[in-house]
Chain A
Amino acid sequence: MSAENSVAVAFDRAAVRLGGRTIWSDVSLSVAEADFVAVLGPNGAGKSTLIKAILGLLPLASGTASILGRAPGAAKGRIGYLPQRHGFDSGTRVRGVDLVQLGLDGARWGIPLPGTQGRKRDAARVAEVIDLVSAAAYARRPIGELSGGEQQRLLIAQALVRRPKLLLLDEPLDSLDLPNQAAVAALVRRICAEEHVAVLLVAHDINPIIGYLDRVIYLAGGGALEGPPDQVITSETLSRLYGAPIEVLHASDGRLVVVGEPEAPFVHGDRHA
């Protein structure tokens, strides 16, 4: 494999503007394949915007981006994406296994013929990926009846089913309790290694997942920094990024506490734009 291919995501002096407002600019970063990277930062810093720019759903205002060696949007088939969501409500009468199956053939037109080689291969892959996320026990129940953590595992399976080289997870831990957050982070860590896939995971709180991460991307103050967690999340680095004094405290239990984060300006509409 060439050196080009070993970089999953590369941004060079990239900027995104939304409705006349610059969300972030001059962002340069690189994510290697099989890296587990957390995307952090305060509300409104443009974390989801970064994911959408990687998917090619939002154009860059300036700079360049290379996703799996190609322009954003050109590598859709090799990217697994889990958008931010509030979970399926209890009335959703769709089975987890069907949802995972949609990740495989949901974009195919025409009528599926039962019993063909292709269908059998698809079913085997769906079963395999459900096993990978340890969801076999509840995959055949309607997803609306499952807990947040169970739903999240099946959605990760859906994102993984086409063997992507890059996995984009937008706040998958948002609605989970702390033990479940750590469990899902451990699962993602394992998938990174076993499936050799680069993962970008947008998170609110780094603490439940910090032990599993390779690197972090910290978005704030209209810019971004990227590096190993212990180098990025320091008082000096974050103060430079925010352009304001920031203090990173190390609690006695090993937790990191970031003090002095200015709130991003409130924007009406999509709070994660």
Chain B
Amino acid sequence: MPEAAAFQGLSWNPLTDLHQLFAYQFMVNALEAGTIVAVMAGVTGWFMVLRRQTFAGHTLSVVAFPGAAAASLAGLPLAVGYFGFCGLGALALGAIAGTRRSLGAESAAIGSLQALALALGFLFVSLYHGVLNGLDSLLFGTFLGVTTQQVVVLLVVAVAAVGLVAFAARPLFFASVDADVARAGGLPVNALGLGFLLVLGLSVAETSQITGALLVFALLVTPAATAHQLTARPMLGIALSVGFALAVTWLGLAFAYFSIYPVGFYVTSLSFGLYVLVRTGRVLVHRRASARLALEAA
């Protein structure tokens, strides 16, 4: 092992610190997994915010929790539970959306599903008495112990999901902003909606493995919402969303590596900080513009 592998804490020398960051295989795996997850979350998150399905996305992340708990209980890899439950959750959400009731009835049904998922998760945790040690990381994430094999699974799923979204990008964008016209033009709007929920389920399942089930939003919603604040241009918005997700993931992992606090906390705080910064900036710009208009009018 090279001598840098001996962990020395933050040296405040950027080169040394960067070197330290890549010294251990687990950290290299974590950075790779984080990068894959951030790209996928950035892309699907942008469409989720556009489609105003944040509540559905949140429900999928809550569904990820019993999925992981059930997998531990059954002695299966956690990824099986994450992907299985999030996939089922997406189908359930699709069935709810397919009934085409009012928006209020739909969100009430989604909320009920969310409560059931939490209750199931708690049941599985209670049944499996030994899991309590892992409960924190199921809910709030961990970057320790990401194996190379897990990274490969994450990569395969992410490539497939992002590929699907890219292939359907324009019809999905059309169906998201203008469903009636898209349907009249012959687009399968309902199938697109269900397909997107399934991709969203995959994204949530992937993201949960880094940020934990409860902090999925840090990567899925906040970077995308920030991008939507900054620009209404679709391609630029998706690029910004991915860029923000990557930035907070890399910084979050680095901070967690050099400190005693969990990665979920850093990723969430960084993306929240970025969002607040952008919102405030927009309000200020808007104020100045209105003030100038008022001045010109006077």
Q: List the interface of chain A (C-beta within 8 A of B).
A: 55, 57, 76, 79, 81-83, 85, 92-95, 98-99, 102-103, 105-112, 141-142, 158-159
Contact = CB atoms under 8 A, between A and B. Distances in A.
Given A102-B173, A102-B178, 19 more contacts: A55-B184, A57-B183, A57-B184, A81-B184, A82-B181, A94-B50, A94-B234, A95-B232, A98-B233, A102-B170, A106-B173, A106-B174, A106-B182, A107-B171, A107-B174, A109-B168, A111-B166, A112-B169, A158-B181
- Top 7 A-B pairs ranked by shortest CB distance? A106-B174, A83-B180, A142-B232, A81-B184, A93-B232, A102-B174, A95-B232
Given A81-B184, A106-B182, A94 B177 contact: yes
B185 interface: yes
A76 B184 contact: yes
Given A76-B186, A98-B234, A106-B185, A92 B171 contact: no
Given A93-B228, A106-B185, A111 B180 contact: no
Contacts of B50: 93-94
A102 B181 CA distance: 10
Contacts of B135: none
Contact of A92 (B167, B169, B177): B177
A112 B170 contact: yes
Contacts of B184: 55, 57, 76, 79, 81, 83
Interface of B: 50, 166-171, 173-174, 177-178, 180-187, 228, 232-234
Nearest to B230: A93
A79 to B, nearest CB: 8
Interface centre among A83, A92, A106, A141 (most CB of B within 10 A): A106
A94 B232 contact: yes
B180 A106 contact: no
14 contacts: A79-B184, A82-B181, A83-B184, A85-B180, A98-B232, A99-B177, A102-B173, A102-B178, A107-B171, A107-B186, A107-B187, A109-B167, A158-B178, A158-B181
B126 to A, nearest CB: 42
A102 B183 CA distance: 13
Contacts of B232: 93-95, 98, 141-142
Contacts of A93: 50, 228, 232
Contact of A111 (B169, B178, B182, B185): B169
A102 to B, nearest CB: 5
B181 A81 contact: yes
A98 B235 CA distance: 11
A103 B170 CA distance: 10
Contacts of A111: 166-167, 169
A160 to B, nearest CB: 12
Contact of B233 (A76, A83, A95, A105): A95
B44 to A, nearest CB: 16
Contact of A102 (B177, B186, B228, B233): B177
A107 B167 CA distance: 11
A79 B186 CA distance: 11
A108 B185 contact: no
Contacts of B170: 102, 105-109, 112
Contacts of A55: 184
Contacts of A107: 170-171, 174, 182, 185-187
A142 B166 CA distance: 23
Contacts of A99: 177-178
Contacts of B178: 99, 102, 106, 158
A142 B185 CA distance: 23
A122 to B, nearest CB: 11
B234 A106 contact: no
A164 B177 CA distance: 21
A200 B168 CA distance: 32
Nearest to B166: A111
Contacts of B173: 98, 102, 106
Contacts of B167: 109-111
Contacts of A108: 170-171
A196 to B, nearest CB: 21
